[in-house]
Structure 1
């Protein structure tokens, strides 16, 4: 395997940007399945579009790649996408002082995704359906006994 990093590569080159997969921030995943943060900072099933929207709004340079996380079992389009983020300038200084590390960027994403307009309506829409389905299943089991 050839190491692509070399000291003469600049921080502005996309290969040097940090990578973030949606699985890193998915509260439905375990640490073994690829979650990188405590569940308190994670969101349920984030998408690469939501992550991109949050980072672009914060003023960071972002790139989206059509890649699948290696630990991801599902090959669906919903789980595809790798986000690249530039956190350092060519001279080594931070692009944004509030984002010194990969973890700080991921925590910001986890705090910001629930505030998106697309997420504001989702929990209310999905809540009655899941409770309704659960009650139907329990009724069906009682009738079979």
Structure 2
């Protein structure tokens, strides 16, 4: 494992834009809109890879060429040097993208952020809509 860890350049590259539902295929999304998740981050993708028992590393100094303002990408090891899969359940890059996109919305950091936001936006939006109708 030590030699593979050192040779990180051969690992699969995974940009957050690949699974971002806010992006179009022309902007770099690689999975269907129904499977994609909203604005994933490198940290969330890295955590999902760890959950799937796949070695991964974040590279914050890199950016996707079509969206160079969003910094960061994740390197993931799908196959070891001898050709065996790190996780037999994930055989391809596409499968990895689909599984990570499925896991990101359930990420602990994301769940905590969305609960207060949903509660605070639900109340004022209803009252402001109601107020406009009465006037």
CA RMSD of aligned residues (A): 2.6
For 1:57-136, list aligned pairs within 5 A: 57-66=51-60, 67-72=62-67, 75=69, 79-127=70-118, 128-129=120-121, 132=124
Normalising to structure 2: TM-score of the pair?
A: 0.79
User: How far apart in 2 are the matches of 1:117 and 1:90?
Assistant: 32
What secondary structure does 2:34 align onto?
helix
5+ long unaligned stretches in structure 2: none
User: How far apart in 2 are the matches of 1:30 and 1:132?
Assistant: 31
User: How far apart in 2 are the matches of 1:117 and 1:14?
Assistant: 27
Contact 2:53 2:86 in 1 (8 A): no
User: How far apart in 1 are the matches of 2:98 and 2:66?
Assistant: 21
CA-CA distance at 1:130 after TM superposition: 8.0
Corresponding residue pairs, total: 126
Task: State the match for 1:31 in structure 2.
Answer: 25
User: How far apart in 1 are the matches of 2:113 and 2:48?
Assistant: 17
Q: Which aligned runs of 4 or more in structure 1 are off by greater than 6 angstroms?
A: none
Normalising to structure 1: TM-score of the pair?
A: 0.74
What secondary structure does 1:40 align onto?
coil
